Amino acid sequence: MKAHMGKIFLKNIVIEGVESDVLIDGNIIAGIFPAGIRGSEEFSVEDLNVVDCCSKTAVPGFVNMHTHAGMSMMRGIGEDIVFHEWLSRIWDIESKIDEEWVYHATRVACLEMIKTGTTTFNDHYWYMPMAHKAAMELGIRPVLAYVICDRNDPQESERQKKQCLEMYEEACTWKDRSIFTIAIHAIYSVREEMILWGTRFARERGLKIHIHLSETAKEVEDCKAQHDGMSPVEYLDSLGVLGPDVIAAHTLWLSENDIRILGERGVTCVHNVNSNLKLSSGYRFLYNELRDAGANICLGTDGCASSNNLDMLETMKTAAMIQKAWRNDPSAMPLNEIMDMATVNAGKAFGLNIGKIEEGALADILIVDTDNYNFLSPGSFEANLVYSAHSDCIDSVICDGKFIMRNRVVPGEKEILAQAKTMLYKIL
């Protein structure tokens, strides 16, 4: 971890209903005290940044566990059309974009994520070094993949093996908060030999594996036809791919046996509710069953081409409401669990001390302004945050011990948007 010299003292901030003072030292939450017990003058350092947080509440930064940040400028390009038409439009645009596009699009994505309270994002896109550069500039915590997607072309497999190694070597030189992973796009877009190669490559180096899994009913049908009646989960398990180091996006179409396997292997399953709804992939995410089987469950937005935004609060609200509706059970996906899915469960997936506000945790903190009508009720803070408020209640964001948004201002916002605009019209 990169060392910071600065210290931040958050005065009079509410944490789990208690007015507190928080000391952040470098990138760590160094102390949490009842408000007023210890004055900031006690910490006699020249660079102590004292911030009065009266009428504000702290929550852990959200973690978007599955997204494609480089698609941030593809909003609305495929509305009201079926999945295969949508996908061919995406591939058409992706054939025109280059690394400069991805750099600017990722800057826009990071800007949106910061404004909506995401401090860590698990990315799955091309031109990873550009995404790294963008995330470092904006101050967010990125998890960046090398994406294996050979589309059943053995020559492409060989090219990607070489490139994967190069990207890994580059990632080894990072001296910052970034995490490198191996993404295997999906079972239908990667040859079996490459699925095995990517898995081995990741395991030998202690890297997480990020994959799209059981997203559509068609994926399951096709897999069964090709692999002796095995579902995508059973197929990957037969290859030895599934384990606690696997982050599987979607896991929407599952049998009882699939759920048992995902639970026993301790896989992290990422629910991308808005993308699933928009593309008509399905809505019956088997949350209770996966949770009870032992899977680790998180939330993601997916890319902007399908979810149209990267707003985790919107994702949390929709995910909970859909569960309640289709199960006909208002107690489904309760508030404490929806908060955990957006925060601490992601920390578990990465083995990172994030997603909680406690001494020793990494300082990734949202400062929520509760001085408005959304919070003017005796209801719980979490209820008002998830069901009543919008992400504009997030006043300030600290990531890795540094303010990356203050009073809703992200440094360089205008320039980020202006530069991205020129890219947009150059290519589309």
Min separation Cβ 249 and Zn ion, Å: 5
The size of the interface with Zn ion (CB under 5 A), counted in residues, is 1
Rounded to the nearest 5 degrees, what angle is found at the Cα of 280, between the Cα atoms of 278 and 286? 100
Min separation Cβ 417 and Zn ion, Å: 24
In terms of Cα–Cα distance, which of 366, 258, 246, 250 is closest to 313? Answer: 366
End-to-end CA distance of the chain: 39
The residue range among 173-181, 195-203, 298-306, 381-389 that interacts with Zn ion, by the rule CB under 5 A, is: 298-306
Handedness of CA 296, 300, 302, 307 (dihedral sign): positive
Min separation Cβ 67 and Zn ion, Å: 7
Q: What share of the chain is helix, strand, coil (3-state, %, to 5)?
A: 45, 25, 35
> What's the order of all strands across the beta sheet hosting 402-405?
28-34, 18-25, 7-15, 48-60, 365-369, 394-399, 402-405
Min separation Cβ 270 and Zn ion, Å: 9
Is residue 369 a contact residue for Zn ion (CB under 5 A)?
no
Distance CA 246, CA 144 (A): 14
Q: Quick one: 104 or 250, whose CB is closer to Zn ion?
A: 250
Residue for token pair 């020249």: 46
DSSP secondary structure, 95-136, as one string: TT--HHHHHHHHHHHHHHHHHTTEEEEEE--S-HHHHHHHHH
Min separation Cβ 66 and Zn ion, Å: 6
Q: Quick one: 82 or 417, whose CB is closer to Zn ion?
A: 82
Q: Quick one: 211 or 339, whose CB is closer to Zn ion?
A: 211
Residues from 226 through 265 that contact Zn ion (CB under 5 A): none
Q: Quick one: 302 or 340, whose CB is closer to Zn ion?
A: 302
Min separation Cβ 250 and Zn ion, Å: 7
Distance CA 91, CA 354 (A): 35
Is residue 302 a contact residue for Zn ion (CB under 5 A)?
yes
Q: Quick one: 71 or 134, whose CB is closer to Zn ion?
A: 71
In the numeric block, which tokens belong to residue 218? 């068609």
Rounded to the nearest 5 degrees, what angle is found at the Cα of 396, between the Cα atoms of 390 and 400? 120
Min separation Cβ 223 and Zn ion, Å: 18
Distance CA 147, CA 270 (A): 18
Residue nearest to Zn ion (CB): 302
Type of residue at 303: G
Q: Quick one: 231 or 281, whose CB is closer to Zn ion?
A: 281
The residue range among 38-46, 141-149, 300-308, 411-419 that interacts with Zn ion, by the rule CB under 5 A, is: 300-308
Q: Quick one: 234 or 302, whose CB is closer to Zn ion?
A: 302
Q: Quick one: 64 or 157, whose CB is closer to Zn ion?
A: 64
Min separation Cβ 162 and Zn ion, Å: 25
The residue range among 33-41, 78-86, 137-145, 297-305 that interacts with Zn ion, by the rule CB under 5 A, is: 297-305
Distance CA 117, CA 119 (A): 6
The residue range among 96-104, 155-163, 296-304, 328-336 that interacts with Zn ion, by the rule CB under 5 A, is: 296-304
Please report, as ranges, the residues that interact with Zn ion according to CB under 5 A: 302
